[in-house]
Amino acid sequence: MAALTLAAMAVGFGWLPSAHQDFSAGGVWDSICRAAGVPSSWGAKDSQRGAPAVASNVILLPEMTRTASTAAVGRGATLALNCTMCHGMKGMSRSDAPNLAGQYPEVIMKQLADYKSGKRGSPIMAALSKNLSDENIKDLAAYYASLPKARTAPTMYDESLPALVRVGAPMRNIAPCISCHGGVDQKLGAPWLEGMPKDYLVQQLQLFKKGERRNDGQLQMRNVANAMTAEEIDAVATFYARKALPVRE
Ligand code: HEC
Ligand code: HEC
């Protein structure tokens, strides 16, 4: 039995992987890690690993979108007192920080976790997320998700929408924005964009285009932004920001 196991391991981790063209494993341990889909050097810093940095550590799960308890929303509201200066009293920013009101909860959780781990770079948000526990992050997401979105109805499919938003650009492999960002469909983890400040949208699209923002796990946004011209970035940002007026209290 033992001999059989050893023989199977030799075939599975040694011989079979070595037949692959991209075989680069440094030994049996590397092969085991590759087979299991985990990094072989958990502790090592990205820079020491030599390989490109992992885009994000966050695994998005449908459970993250579940409605939270009122207690969680209450705890989130208290924590959010530290955030109002930039993100607004009710999650609607009056500066160029992103709105958080009505944002999908899994988006807030993922982005805060990415700031905390340094996968999304922002000195301000790195400092502010540093001391947030997983529980704090969940509560903040529950609170912001409970607030009303920018005052308009969601974008529906309509001939007057910019082409990229409505149908994308199939020849350039750009899927329509509304197929991921809400309106027609929302993909888990894709933020609500309606009413976001224009400068913020332009900035983020440029960061994706330049590859400076890399926390989109499957390159969804880098692929889209990479194929866009500066004029197109301006046009879609103008469109999504068109209702950026703050809600009247
Ligand atoms: C001093 C201003 C400031 C404060 C205070 C602040 N933020 Fe931010 N926040 C920003 C800016 C600016 C960005 C965009 C940064 C970037 O370019 O990635 C941001 C981005 C975010 C995002 C990403 C949103 C998105 O759509 O991708 C989340 C979530 C967030 N902040 C949550 C919080 C929470 C929660 C707090 C309070 C604990 C907080 N912020 C406090 C300025 C601030
Ligand atoms: C295939 C799905 C998909 C398509 C199509 C798509 N996006 Fe995205 N977009 C995402 C995801 C997922 C994220 C969040 C990435 C992350 O995890 O940080 C994102 C993030 C963004 C952000 C950053 C927002 C923030 O608050 O952090 C902007 C801006 C954006 N997309 C604009 C667009 C525009 C404009 C289009 C159409 C030209 C578009 N996207 C098309 C999936 C998509």
Tell me yes or no: is domain 62-146 CATH 3.40.50.720. no
For the Cβ of 87 lying below 6 angstroms from any atom of ligand 1, the answer is yes
CATH topology of domain 163-240: Cytochrome Bc1 Complex; Chain D, domain 2 (1.10.760)
CATH 1.10.760.10 domain range(s) in the chain? 62-146, 163-240
User: What is the per-residue pLDDT for 50?
Assistant: 44
Other CB atoms within 10 A of residue 19 CB: 7
- Taking only Cα atoms into account, the Rg of the chain, rounded to an integer number of angstroms, comes to 22
Q: Which amino acid is at 249?
A: E
Ligand 2: residue whose CA is nearest its atom 8: 221
For the Cβ of 7 lying below 6 angstroms from any atom of ligand 1, the answer is no
Tell which residue, 70, 84, 89, 83, has the closest CA to residue 112. 83
Task: Judge whether 88 and 172 are in contact, CB under 8 Å.
Answer: no
CA 130 and chain centroid, separation? 18
For the Cβ of 77 lying below 6 angstroms from any atom of ligand 1, the answer is no
User: What is the per-residue pLDDT for 151?
Assistant: 60
The reply to whether the predicted model has a pTM over 0.95 is: no
User: What is the per-residue pLDDT for 182?
Assistant: 83
Ligand 2: residue whose CA is nearest its atom 34: 177
Ligand 2: residue whose CA is nearest its atom 37: 177
For the Cβ of 213 lying below 6 angstroms from any atom of ligand 2, the answer is no
| Torsion sign (Cα): 215, 144, 192, 92 | negative
Q: What is the pLDDT along the chain (249 residues), one digit of tens a residue?
A: 666 665 565 555 555 544 544 444 444 445 444 455 555 444 444 444 444 556 888 888 887 887 789 999 999 999 999 999 999 999 999 999 999 999 999 999 999 999 999 999 999 999 999 999 999 999 999 999 999 987 655 556 677 889 999 999 999 999 999 999 987 889 999 999 988 999 999 999 999 999 999 999 999 999 999 999 999 999 999 999 886 444 444
Question: Residue 161 CA: which ligand is closest?
Answer: 2
